[in-house]
Chain A
Amino acid sequence: DAGVIQSPRHEVTEMGQEVTLRCKPISGHDYLFWYRQTMMRGLELLIYFNNNVPIDDSGMPEDRFSAKMPNASFSTLKIQPSEPRDSAVYFCASSLGTSPYNEQFFGPGTRLTVL
């Protein structure tokens, strides 16, 4: 299995532009999580899905952020418009069933820089 796949690995954009991050979970996994990692705040859960349905988006910082999961093998996290404070590493993770019986597998992350 290729593991969790994220694209792009690096993204540099200018303030005000739309940014779309993509994630392909491990085949067969029914949970998908989006995290943001910064030096100041550590690793924060933004939103997670179960069977393609958003379950908890309380971690989404504001309306500029949105996430979708149109099918079991694809999810997007969109920031529109982007701001410099959105610069961070964004991780996607997937799991089969509820933790702890099944661990979360993380993707390599997307390093976003907003100028």
Chain B
Amino acid sequence: AQSVSQHNHHVILSEAASLELGCNYSYGGTVNLFWYVQYPGQHLQLLLKYFSGDPLVKGIKGFEAEFIKSKFSFNLRKPSVQWSDTAEYFCAVNGYRDDKIIFGKGTRLHILP
């Protein structure tokens, strides 16, 4: 069965620190991968997605993620975080041509000013 595992439930960083949020998935086949973000009091928004091509994907607000097929991973990175990055981040996966997406449990990121 498909599953997504996010390693950290809660991360606290200071502004300007570098960020890496871990995500591993379990799926026997070609996958599409996503990171969604939910800012406080707001709905989920797509941050970035990967479905083919360059395994290093760049998204909005300076975020990027790298798909490492051999490790079944899709970690999210940002070189220098800002207070406004405080949010909950969800990694998600679906099988190629699947309609539904499986979400991880999320990582709550707090950035200290």
Contacts and interface: CB of A to CB of B under 8 A. Distances in A.
Interface in A75-115: 91, 93, 98-101, 103-104, 106-109
Nearest to B45: A106
A41 to B, nearest CB: 7
Contact of A45 (B45, B97, B100, B106): B100
Interface residues of A, number: 25
A31 B99 CA distance: 9
Contacts of A103: 34, 46, 49
Given A43-B103, A48-B100, A99 B94 contact: yes
Contacts of A100: 32, 34, 49, 51, 94
Given A41-B105, A100-B51, A100-B94, A56 B100 contact: yes
Interface in A1-57: 4, 31, 33, 35, 41-45, 48, 50, 55-56
B102 interface: yes
Interface residues of B, number: 21
Contacts, number: 56
B42 A99 contact: no
Contacts of A55: 99
| Main SS at interface, chain A | strand
Given A48-B99, A99-B99, A43 B90 contact: yes
A109 B42 CA distance: 9
B43 interface: yes
Contacts of A91: 43-44
B101 interface: yes
Given A99-B32, A100-B32, A106 B101 contact: no
A54 B94 CA distance: 19
Interface of A: 4, 31, 33, 35, 41-45, 48, 50, 55-56, 91, 93, 98-101, 103-104, 106-109
8 contacts: A31-B99, A33-B100, A91-B43, A99-B34, A99-B94, A99-B98, A100-B32, A100-B94
- Identify the 7 closest CB pairs spanning chains A and B, nearest first: A42-B105, A100-B32, A43-B103, A106-B44, A100-B51, A106-B43, A103-B46
